[in-house]
Amino acid sequence: MMKLLSFLKNKALGSSIDYKILPRKVKFDWKDTPVDWIPNQPFASYFINEINNILPAGEFWFCRLYNKVLPQIKDEKLKQDVQAFIRQEAMHANAHTSANKEYLSARNIDIQRNLDIMNYLFTIALADKPFEKEVPQFLQGQWDLFRLGVIATVEHMTCVLGKYALYNERWEELGADPEMVDLVKWHGSEEIEHRTVAFDLYRHLGGGYIPRYYLSLAVIVLVLGLWVDGAAHIMKQDPRFADAAKSRFFPVWVAVEWYKISRKDNQVLPNPIWLIAQQIDYLMPWYDPVKEGSTEDAVSYLSQSPAAKRAELQAA
């Protein structure tokens, strides 16, 4: 109750965890990963592959903004959390970039259009100087806080997706490519491990309760829209989707198909309605990201991730 009252009063709080977040190096090998990395599931394979296009620009943006506000952090434990978060996010961005270059592009899938959209969003629209316009000095703190709120909202969503990936057994049952499964489970597990950091930092620097409502709405619309639009772009390059791709409403078809497939088997793809509903917890005044996942389960997977073990062997 005291924690809730402190938050509603906008009192600066620190780290909400007592464990140490551990950055890890990983190395993925994409030479044997097929385009349909989930056998007989081309739609789901492409749809999840689009995550590789969406994430790197945003994760590098997270790192830049967090490095900028790092001197403002007064709580030493939170500062350590943020520094570890930065290192983890940088590794996530590099891992997904490797999938883009060594997996998707290497299989003649044109992803540049999708990457350009994400780069524009994070290097132009949400930059320190949005659309190359100087933010007035008296508004710079609010602009940073708004962007920190965006990150906190996104990180709640990635934690939810991280839990979905970590506990998903259906992909392996269908014979999914182990390298791609490891990528999404490794990334998802680290999202669970550092699930408190973005929210802790947002409120530590003065983030309020009410903005979570409009930030959630904006982030949900933006993330799902980019995901569907980007997936449509890479799918339409595959002859198997040629008939549907002839329509100018192909992205709408992709969104409907996503819902249909997830309704039939929500372990192949997460249901979009379910994903939206997961934002409800984030909107509650008593929201606590610590309760959003199991650190023990996440760390257990990370300790035996093939990509992490491969990186350790190469380093040795």
Give the model confidence (pLDDT) of 98-154 as tens digits: 999 999 999 999 999 999 999 999 999 999 999 999 999 999 999 999 999 999 999
**What whole-number distance in Å separates Cα of residue 22 and Cα of residue 300?**
13
Q: How many domains does the chain have?
A: 1
Percentage of the chain beyond pLDDT 70 is: 96
- Give domain status of residue 120, yes or no: no
- Give domain status of residue 162, yes or no: yes
Check residues 11 and 104 and name the one with the higher pLDDT.
104
**What whole-number distance in Å separates Cα of residue 293 and Cα of residue 265?**
23
189 is in which domain, residue-wise? 42-114+135-315
pLDDT tens per residue across span 44-86: 999 999 999 999 999 999 999 999 999 999 999 999 999 999 9
- Give domain status of residue 34, yes or no: no
Q: Which two tokens stand for residue 49?
A: 């592959």
CB 264 within 8 A of CB 257: no
Q: Is 8 a residue whose pLDDT tops 60?
A: no
- Cα separation values, 230 from 55, 213, 254, Å: 12, 26, 10
pLDDT tens per residue across span 186-224: 999 999 999 999 999 999 999 999 999 999 999 999 999
Name residues whose C-beta falls within 8 Å of residue 169's C-beta, 6 or more positions apart in sequence. Answer: 267
What pLDDT score does 13 carry? Answer: 87
> For 184-222, b where at least 16 C-beta lie within 10 A, e where not — what string?
bbbbbbbbbbbbbbbbbbbbbbebeeebbeebbeebbee
- Give domain status of residue 210, yes or no: yes
**What whole-number distance in Å separates Cα of residue 27 and Cα of residue 313?**
10
- Give domain status of residue 27, yes or no: no
CB 310 within 8 A of CB 27: yes
- Give domain status of residue 156, yes or no: yes
- Per-chain mean pLDDT for the chain: 95
**Longest C-alpha distance within the chain, in Å?**
59
What pLDDT score does 316 carry? Answer: 60
Sign of the Cα pseudo-torsion (251, 255, 257, 262, in order): positive
- Give domain status of residue 98, yes or no: yes
Provide mean pLDDT across the span 254-270.
97
Q: Is 314 a residue whose pLDDT tops 90?
A: no
**Residue 12 — very low, low, confident or very high, per pLDDT cuts 50/70/90?**
low
- Give domain status of residue 127, yes or no: no
What one-character DSSP code corresponds to residue 238? Answer: S
What pLDDT score does 260 carry? Answer: 98
